[in-house]
Amino acid sequence: MSTLRCQRGFSLIETMTVMAVSAVLGLTAAPSMSDFLSRQRLTAATQELRLAMELARSEAVARGHRVAIGPVDGRDWRSGWEVYGDLDDDGERDAGDPVLRVFVAPERGVQIETRGLPRTVLSFDDTGYIRWSGSNGLVLGRMVMRYRGAASTVCIAAARIRTVQGDSCA
């Protein structure tokens, strides 16, 4: 009596075909995943900056005096930024100025450029307007954040802050 045995599993050719199709699909998905991650990093950095600006504005109104936001190291926004009470309205964080919150540096590779703004400090007065430190002059300008070819801009007007994709506020 002969018995037939049923074979189970995949042949070598079937396995190699599945691996080839999987490799092609993986290679086509990798660039779009990289672009997605770049956009997410840029969005996160932009939202952190907006959060700091909104915090500075609300604290200035609540405290009744100038509150500023500036780079942690005093020069470069890529070092992170801090929100502090600028009690003497000189645009610098002095020993007596209370630090309200420190924001960590954005992802490595994020570039930040100011256009039409003070380079190192944004100062909010007790009415919530952004003004030049030491004066009542209103500030209009933008902060452009770039990461791997993508750009996001925080557009700043005296009473309004908005975020747009790209490097223009138009």
User: Looking at the whole model, is its pTM more than 0.95?
Assistant: no
Provide the b/e sequence for 25-57 (b: ≥16 CB within 10 Å).
eeeeeeeeeeeeebeebbbebbebbbebbebbb
Question: Pairing state of beta strands 130-131 and 141-147?
Answer: unpaired
Task: Please tell me the predicted confidence (pLDDT) of residue 39.
Answer: 83
The predicted pLDDT at position 30 comes to 65
85 residue type, one letter: G
The DSSP line for 13-44 is HHHHHHHHHHHHHHHHHHHHHHHHHHHHHHHH
Mean pLDDT over each residue of the chain, to the nearest integer: 88
User: What average pLDDT does range 94-102 have in this prediction?
Assistant: 94
136-145 burial code (b ≥16 CB/10 A, e <16) = eeebebbbbb
- Cβ contact 155:169 at 8 Å: yes
| C-alpha to C-alpha distance for 78 and 88, rounded to whole angstroms | 26
Res 118: pLDDT: 82
In sign, the C-alpha dihedral spanning 106, 44, 100, 68 is positive
Q: Tell me the percentage of the chain whose pLDDT exceeds 70.
A: 93
Two structure tokens written together for 35:
């672009």
Query: What pLDDT was estimated at residue 60?
Result: 96
Query: Which tens digit of pLDDT belongs to each residue from 100-115?
Result: 999 999 988 999 999 9
pLDDT digits (tens, 9 = 90+) for 125-169: 999 999 988 888 888 999 999 998 899 999 998 788 999 999 888
Q: What's the pLDDT at 3?
A: 63
Cβ count near 18 (within 10 Å): 11
Mean pLDDT score, 51-77:
94
pLDDT at 50 over 90: yes
| Nearest Cα residue to 49 out of 91, 74, 77 | 77
**Quick one: pLDDT at residue 141?**
92
pLDDT at 1 over 60: no
Give 27's pLDDT tier (boundaries 50, 70, 90).
Answer: confident
Quick one: which of 57, 59, 101, 55 has its CA closest to 80? Answer: 101
The pLDDT, as a whole number, for residue 29 is 64
